[in-house]
Chain A
Amino acid sequence: MEDIKFPGSTENVVADSKDKPKSKKGFLLIFLGVALVGLLALGVFWLGIKDKEAKLSSIDDTLTAIDSLSNETEDVEKDFSDLPEDFIDAEPVSTQEIDTSLAELETLMEELDGLDTDFELEASDVGL
């Protein structure tokens, strides 16, 4: 007697259950591949941003250095003042003259020590 195969027989059920994990695996692999490509693209994009930031930061640092150069060299005019015409012929200033001037200045400063108390004015001093 010939075997009749019904569509809902156990053999078909076994075959179906073997195909399902395969398609699931394929889907998972595709998903993983897309995710990996996505991650790579994200990584490249992130590195690009970081690189750009680094370049901009380098430019900013150089701009800051130019600003500090401006501060460092602001005294050029003062530091390289012209030499007097009579530089060669003029008498040199002796250290003794400088010492005398310093001593005079010190005496003057001592005399000015009482400036605060000399010019103090309390309300009671004028009967208020």
Chain B
Amino acid sequence: MRIRTLLLSVMFLTVCSLAVFAQSAQQKGPTTSSQQGSESQKCLDVTKKVGLITDRYDQKKEKYMNAFQNSYQNINTLMLKLKAEGYDTAQLEEHLEEYNNMIQNTSRYYNEFRTGIDNSKKGVCGNSDVDSGKEFNTAREQLMKFKNEMLQLRTFALETLKQDLLDLKTQVSE
């Protein structure tokens, strides 16, 4: 009698465990696939947003960098011409080198921004083990550095290089 009761209890417990396991497995299945679905949707959203923003920034960057590089080329050509004719261009030459370094830095910051935002996208899409949030913050920092360097370039051209050219003009007029 006792053995029968024990066997029945064991059977009951086994059936209950199996039922609970089956139910939990049923619940777990759809949740994982919906999670995967939302992650791939997030990847699509992020890819789209990153594409839009980087396309726009790339175009603007091209425009600004061309303007800065053209101005460097123009001033440098003039400086070389005046230097060959014996004018004192040391100050302008030094400042032009500084200006050129700033242009290179600006370009580097932008490339780092692009790398950061691309890594962030890869992190979201699961193509990389990087922390997408951290990469995104790095991208933002680089974008701000890029912008600030461009603002400094602008001020440098308007104040320092312009003054050097005015000094050269006085030298030529004498």
- Footprint of B on A, CB under 8 Å? 52, 55-56, 58-60, 62-63, 65-66, 69-70, 72-73, 76-77, 79-80, 82-83, 87-88, 91-92
Check if A87 sits within 8 Å of B49, measured CB to CB.
yes
CA distance A77 to B60 in the complex (A): 12
Query: Which range holds the interface residue count of chain B?
Result: 35 or more
Residue of B with least CB distance to A70: B158
- Residues of A with C-beta under 8 A to B60: 79-80
The smallest beta-carbon distance between B91 and chain A, in angstroms, is 14
- Footprint of A on B, CB under 8 Å? 45-46, 48-49, 53, 57, 60, 63-64, 67-68, 70-71, 74-75, 78, 81-82, 85, 120, 124, 132-133, 136, 139-140, 143-144, 146-147, 150-151, 153-154, 157-158, 161-162, 165-166, 168-169, 172-173
Check if A55 sits within 8 Å of B158, measured CB to CB.
no
Residue of B with least CB distance to A81: B147
Query: Could you give 26 example pairs across A and B, Cβ below 8 Å?
Result: A52-B172, A56-B172, A59-B168, A62-B75, A63-B162, A63-B169, A65-B71, A66-B75, A66-B158, A66-B162, A69-B71, A70-B158, A72-B64, A73-B68, A76-B64, A76-B150, A76-B151, A79-B60, A80-B150, A83-B136, A87-B53, A88-B120, A88-B124, A88-B133, A88-B136, A91-B45
